[in-house]
Amino acid sequence: LSRKVEMTNWEKGHYINYKKMSENLAIVRGRLNRPLTFAEKILYSHLDDPHGQEIERGTSYLKLRPDRVACQDATAQMAILQFMSAGMPSVATPTTVHCDHLIEAQVGGPADLARAKDINKEVYDFLSTSCAKYNIGFWKPGSGIIHQIIMENYAFPGALLIGTDSHTPNAGGLGMAAIGVGGADAVDVMADLPWELKAPKVIGVKLTGKLSGWTAPKDIILKVAGILTVKGGTGAIVEYHGPGTESISCTGMGTICNMGAEIGATTSLFPFNDRMYDYLKATKRQAIGDFSREYAKELREDEGAEYDQLIEINLSELEPHINGPFTPDLATPISKFKEAVKENKWPEELKVGLIGSCTNSSYEDMTRAASIAEDAMSHGIKAKSLFTVTPGSEQVRATIARDGQLETFEEFGGMVLANACGPCIGQWDRKDVKKGEPNSIISSYNRNFTGRNDANPATHAFVTSPDLVVAMTIAGTLNFNPLTDTLKDKDGNEFKLKEPVGEALPANGFDPGEDTYQAPPSDRSAVSVAVSPTSDRLQILQPFNAWDGKDAKDLPILIKTQGKTTTDHISMAGPWLKYRGHLDNISNNMLIGAINADNGEANKIKNILTGSYDAVPAVARDYKKNGIPWVVVGDWNYGEGSSREHAALEPRHLGGLAIITRSFARIHETNLKKQGMLPLVFSDPADYDKITPEDKVDLLVTELAVGKPMTMVVHPKDGSSFNVELSHTFNAGQIEWFKNGSALNTMAKKAKN
């Protein structure tokens, strides 16, 4: 295992360290003396201190040394701005930045890309110069979606990667632990600090049987999401295993891992197998595949490994599923879907079908989808609904352009969009329906929260496999089951669509397409980073104030949110993505999507100083101006959804002290801690109901200590008062973050000493 094999073809001198990993693992085995799951093997082999680290699943905080960091362009701006303020000359861990989130879908790939380059010039210039300066690999706009680029170029079996995007787990399809984090975590690792993760529990999903017909890899995760719900994977890694894994392509396994983010899982992964070897070979990394074969024993679970929860799925019996609308865990098998449409009065007409995205844009996905489109065209019919295709990478785009699938999609009536996130992240200039008009769309994406794709809260967004998207697009209605129903050909004769067929990997190899990579220059000292002081999109960061050491008295509740409060509600995407690098400007979207428990409305809260109703950011700014810190009261799984740390930076910037909820989504909870906020949880969830938005609260912050609850004294308007016990998950290091005002302040302080 002491051979020198490069992690990637794009860098020199970054070797895969199976030797060190196996040594670490031997140390941990000696201590734990039990069979290990694959997820545990990856994590424990990356421990900073395998001898001394306390290890208990679900309890300990692991200090880890990831192999790589990846950032997308929206989150990279703030991550790099933060890294810059730590004052180091180069990133300490190999890092890449990917331009994929800022390209709006309007008229099709080339024009949309050209327009994006123009509109986002300032941001792309900042990213490209800062990457060159700090030794970061830079993937230019047009290169593709971060998770596909990682899969094609950087993922390798047994690796630990962190990425500033919630769908980073996609790389689990190549047998690694790829974990979505906030920008602040990425900054730690770029700056050579160990990265901290609460030791996850491990949920085993045993796959038996074999996929066939209309059932696709996507259906596995749609089914799992239905079983586990959006909360079910919280604090856990989902580990697939069993004989069924052999019938799934490497990219198909990627799809399954990708969408594991929708059940709140820390990550998902598959054990190393021949399908992964084939993919490595096809992407010019056979040397890595061979090296992985030498280390293969540690690239899967030990015999007898125990899972905290075990789910079994027989792929031979698995039906295609459609999940949604509005939530990715509402899973309906295709055989029951028509009934569900009727019962729930979902709009029957299908307006738009969208395939691609980081979730489902592999060569296999594209060839299968094209086979269905071709079948329809052979009967003289085309897409009835609007249809869009988002290739995941320049390599996939160039390959399907060469092999003909792209042309098929265009003939079929499709619009091929840029190799970027596009409508998946709300970068969609949708024209076919008016805002507020109820309508249905179906995509092969992963996430379908209200308003995510087109900012229309009345849009019913469903997620499914690309195969079903194409079939439904042909029918133009949700009332169609391609397994049982017929369509009419151009002459009115009935026919049934053939089952899709595809190729996992291109027979003639991948066509790399245009060169879209910028390597850091050998002399980086001359590079200057481009940030204009008058920019409304980029702002150099100022450190937050340290804690004053006192209890906080008489705090207003800015808003008591009710029901789902995702990071989309806390820091909306879409048009706001523009201000990702400018904290003050983007703070004008803080919590504007959250529902006020007081009046059931979004972005309408009472300002206790004036008694009048106003927008959430406006009220927060008014409190801040008057020197009054505030708290937010939230419901279950507060902060679920994407990893954006702006959702934590904004409340901190606008003067918030604590977010008090029934429970948190993991990444958001950590992000709040990083920014020096207090994420606190009602010890008794029923206490949420005892709070009314006009109460004032005292937080006995001086009680903050590891494993100890904190008291909140609630003062209702009638002059009475009562105590509520709040819990938290702060460890000693994180308490320092709070005291110093943020994790970054703590790092800067350490660097000085």
In angstroms, the CA 503 to CA 506 distance is 7
Quote the DSSP letter at residue 579: G
Q: Identify the residue among 145, 179, 299, 699 touching ligand F3S (CB under 6 A).
A: 145
In angstroms, the CA 290 to CA 296 distance is 10
Residues 435-474, one symbol each (x = binds ligand F3S by CB under 6 A, - = not), give ----------xxx---------------------------
Nearest to ligand F3S of 463, 470 (CB atom): 463
Nearest to ligand F3S of 315, 358 (CB atom): 358
Q: Identify the active-site residue in 447, 646, 662, 668.
A: 447
Nearest to ligand F3S of 98, 696 (CB atom): 98
**Side-chain-facing half-sphere of 272: CA atoms under 13 Å:** 26
Q: Are strands 386-390 and 350-356 parallel, antiparallel or unpaired?
A: parallel
- Is 68 a residue of the active site? no
Q: Identify the active-site residue in 101, 537, 580, 582.
A: 101
Report in angstroms how near the CB of residue 447 gets to ligand F3S at its nearest: 6
- Is 523 a residue of the active site? no
For 91-212, list the strands marked E by DSSP.
Answer: 95-98, 137-139, 160-163, 177-180, 195-198, 201-208
Residue 165 touching ligand F3S (CB under 6 A): yes
Report in angstroms how near the CB of residue 146 gets to ligand F3S at its nearest: 6
Dihedral angle sign, alpha carbons of residues 236, 237, 240, 241: negative
Q: Identify the residue among 187, 421, 620, 726 touching ligand F3S (CB under 6 A).
A: 421
Nearest to ligand F3S of 661, 671 (CB atom): 671
In angstroms, the CA 318 to CA 226 distance is 13
Residues 99-138, one symbol each (x = binds ligand F3S by CB under 6 A, - = not), give -x--------------------------------------
Mark the segment that binds ligand F3S (CB under 6 A) among 49-57, 105-113, 142-150, 216-224. 142-150
Report in angstroms how near the CB of residue 149 gets to ligand F3S at its nearest: 10
Report in angstroms how near the CB of residue 259 gets to ligand F3S at its nearest: 9
Report in angstroms how near the CB of residue 562 gets to ligand F3S at its nearest: 26
User: How many CB atoms lie under 10 A from the CB of residue 246?
Assistant: 11
**Region 623-662 residues binding ligand F3S, contact defined as CB under 6 A:** none
The answer for 623, left when phi > 0, alpha when psi is -120 to 50, beta otherwise, is alpha
Q: Is 690 helix (H, G, I), strand (E, B) or coil?
A: helix
- Is 642 a residue of the active site? yes
Quote the DSSP letter at residue 320: P
Residues 409, 424, 407, CA angle at the centre, nearest 5°? Answer: 10
Report in angstroms how near the CB of residue 336 gets to ligand F3S at its nearest: 27
Nearest to ligand F3S of 425, 680 (CB atom): 425
**Residue among 627, 630, 629, 649 at smallest CA distance from 639:** 649
In angstroms, the CA 615 to CA 592 distance is 7
Q: Identify the active-site residue in 165, 185, 375, 635.
A: 165
In angstroms, the CA 377 to CA 387 distance is 14
Whether residue 325 is preceded by a cis peptide bond, meaning omega within 30 degrees of 0, is: yes
- Is 554 a residue of the active site? no
Residue 146 touching ligand F3S (CB under 6 A): yes
Nearest to ligand F3S of 144, 476 (CB atom): 144
- Is 29 a residue of the active site? no
Is 282:150 a contact under the CB 8 Å cutoff?
Answer: no
Paired tokens of 263: 């059940």
In angstroms, the CA 560 to CA 558 distance is 7
Mark the segment that binds ligand F3S (CB under 6 A) among 140-148, 217-225, 239-247, 719-727. 140-148
Is 283:291 a contact under the CB 8 Å cutoff?
Answer: no
Greatest extent of the chain over all pairs of C-alpha atoms, in Å: 81
Paired tokens of 153: 């170029």
Residue 318 touching ligand F3S (CB under 6 A): no
Nearest to ligand F3S of 167, 397 (CB atom): 167
Report in angstroms how near the CB of residue 678 gets to ligand F3S at its nearest: 30
- Is 635 a residue of the active site? no
Q: Identify the active-site residue in 537, 644, 666, 728.
A: 644
Mark the segment that binds ligand F3S (CB under 6 A) among 113-121, 141-149, 585-593, 608-616. 141-149
C-alpha distances in angstroms, 417 versus 165, 350, 366, 498?
21, 20, 14, 27
Report in angstroms how near the CB of residue 80 gets to ligand F3S at its nearest: 18
Q: Which helix (H) or strand (E) holds 473?
A: helix 466-475
Q: Identify the active-site residue in 100, 219, 365, 687.
A: 100
Q: Identify the residue among 396, 424, 538, 714 touching ligand F3S (CB under 6 A).
A: 424
Report in angstroms how near the CB of residue 205 gets to ligand F3S at its nearest: 21
Nearest to ligand F3S of 57, 98 (CB atom): 98
Q: Identify the residue among 425, 469, 616, 681 touching ligand F3S (CB under 6 A).
A: 425
In angstroms, the CA 730 to CA 753 distance is 24
DSSP of 330-385: -EEEHHHHHHHHHHHT---BEEEEEEETTTB-SHHHHHHHHHHHHHHHHTT---SS
Q: Is 539 helix (H, G, I), strand (E, B) or coil?
A: coil
Report in angstroms how near the CB of residue 397 gets to ligand F3S at its nearest: 14
Q: Identify the active-site residue in 45, 249, 642, 643.
A: 642
Report in angstroms how near the CB of residue 492 gets to ligand F3S at its nearest: 39
Residues 355-384, one symbol each (x = binds ligand F3S by CB under 6 A, - = not), give --xx--------------------------
Q: What residues does 518 pair with on adjacent strands? A: 138
Which stretches of 5-145 are DSSP H helices?
Answer: 18-32, 38-45, 73-85, 109-119, 121-134
Nearest to ligand F3S of 147, 674 (CB atom): 147
Which stretches of 386-458 are DSSP H helices?
Answer: 394-403, 405-411
Residues in contact with ligand F3S, total (CB under 6 A)?
14
Nearest to ligand F3S of 229, 446 (CB atom): 446
**Region 561-580 residues binding ligand F3S, contact defined as CB under 6 A:** none
Residues 81-100, one symbol each (x = binds ligand F3S by CB under 6 A, - = not), give -------------------x
Mark the segment that binds ligand F3S (CB under 6 A) among 139-147, 647-655, 696-704, 724-732. 139-147
Nearest to ligand F3S of 139, 623 (CB atom): 139
Report in angstroms how near the CB of residue 288 gets to ligand F3S at its nearest: 24
Nearest to ligand F3S of 57, 167 (CB atom): 167
Report in angstroms how near the CB of residue 711 gets to ligand F3S at its nearest: 40
Mark the segment that binds ligand F3S (CB under 6 A) among 110-118, 192-200, 419-427, 575-583. 419-427
Paired tokens of 730: 């702060």
Nearest to ligand F3S of 24, 360 (CB atom): 360
Q: What residues does 362 pair with on adjacent strands? A: none
In angstroms, the CA 243 to CA 413 distance is 39
Residues 274-313, one symbol each (x = binds ligand F3S by CB under 6 A, - = not), give ----------------------------------------
C-alpha distances in angstroms, 139 versus 97, 98, 156, 258, 645?
6, 5, 19, 20, 22
Residue appearing with tokens 């350490």 = 750
In angstroms, the CA 594 to CA 582 distance is 22
Q: What are phi and psi of 32, to 5 degrees?
A: -85, -35
End-to-end CA distance of the chain: 39
Q: What are phi and psi of 309, to 5 degrees?
A: -155, 145
Q: Which residues are catalytically annotated?
A: 100-101, 165, 447, 642, 644
Interface contacts to ligand F3S, rule CB under 6 A:
100, 145-147, 165, 167, 357-358, 421, 424-425, 445-447
